[in-house]
Amino acid sequence: MKVRLRDIEVNYHKAGKGVPAVFIHGLAEDHRSWANLQGDLTGIESYAYDLRGHGRTSLGQPDNTLEQLGRDLIAFLENVTGPAACIGFSLGGTVVLWAAAKRPDLVTHAIVVGTSSKVGRAAVGFFQQRIGQLQDDRAMFDKGLASDTASQLVRQHADIDAVAAQRLAAVGDGGGYINAARAMIALADSSLTPLLADISVPVTVIGGEKDAFCPKKAADMICAELPDAAYHEIPDAGHLMSVDQPALYSATIQQAIRKGT
């Protein structure tokens, strides 16, 4: 399905009936990263959309900011779903936190997975390297993203090549990746952490036990600013929890959605 919002044509997938929930994917992903989870949900009307420049959503006029991505989410809530629980993975989690702080009337429950409110210098270097590769050496970027995918998993997977291929397809021509990566780079100098004090809705933080890309200290930082936030850890899982522990991942998110309704 597609809908025109702001300056972009947004592609999304809707499934199920019940209380509304909106899913926001991570960098180098699209709505398909939520497909298995959407199929598992019962009593929930789920929406998973492609971020600007990812998957089949147009890039529009990117400005390299988290605010723009957050306003895209707000527009989706205003025009498609109405108030809803919002579930974001990694980059998507920062988008959810920003929107929750700005529009508690629309984000009824923020569920953030593998998410950080601040980006460190090592991550800045990583993002800058990938941006440079997209601009100058696409073959090297593709090789790097395949390696990144493997590094974000801690269990053996026969379908790892398929996971990497799906992520590469979501990147497309790279405009959305560059836009979102630059938005994340900005969090190194302008952390999202101070904005967390403005969040008044329930927050659930989910982390992978062996996530080296977004370790437990990132969740601790969010929870320190939100003393009522609930934390859940997915055992034996890296950053890509949905691939390492799909059943437990789905059950944890579904339980969080129901607890917040």
261: confidence class by pLDDT, cuts 50, 70, 90:
low
Work out the average pLDDT over 244-261. 90
User: pLDDT digit string (tens) for 2-40?
Assistant: 999 999 999 999 999 999 999 999 999 999 999 999 999
Q: What is the mean pLDDT of the chain?
A: 96
* In the predicted structure, residue 247 carries a pLDDT above the cut 70: yes
* In the predicted structure, residue 258 carries a pLDDT above the cut 90: no
Q: How far apart are the first and last CA of the chain?
A: 26
User: pLDDT digit string (tens) for 69-111?
Assistant: 999 999 999 999 999 999 999 999 999 999 999 999 999 999 9
Q: What percent of the chain is modeled with pLDDT above 70? A: 99
Rounded to two decimals, the pTM is 0.97
Q: How many CA atoms lie within 13 A of 108 on its CB side?
A: 17
Closest CA to 66 of 158, 154, 187, 168: 187
* In the predicted structure, residue 233 carries a pLDDT above the cut 90: yes
Angle between helices 175-185 and 66-76 (to 10 degrees): 120
pLDDT of res. 159: 87
Domains (range + CATH), the chain: 2-259 (3.40.50.1820)
Work out the average pLDDT over 161-178. 97
Q: Which helix (H) or strand (E) holds 70?
A: helix 66-76
SS3 82: coil
167: confidence class by pLDDT, cuts 50, 70, 90:
very high
Number of neighbouring beta carbons within 10 Å of residue 36: 14
Cross-strand pairs, 234: 208
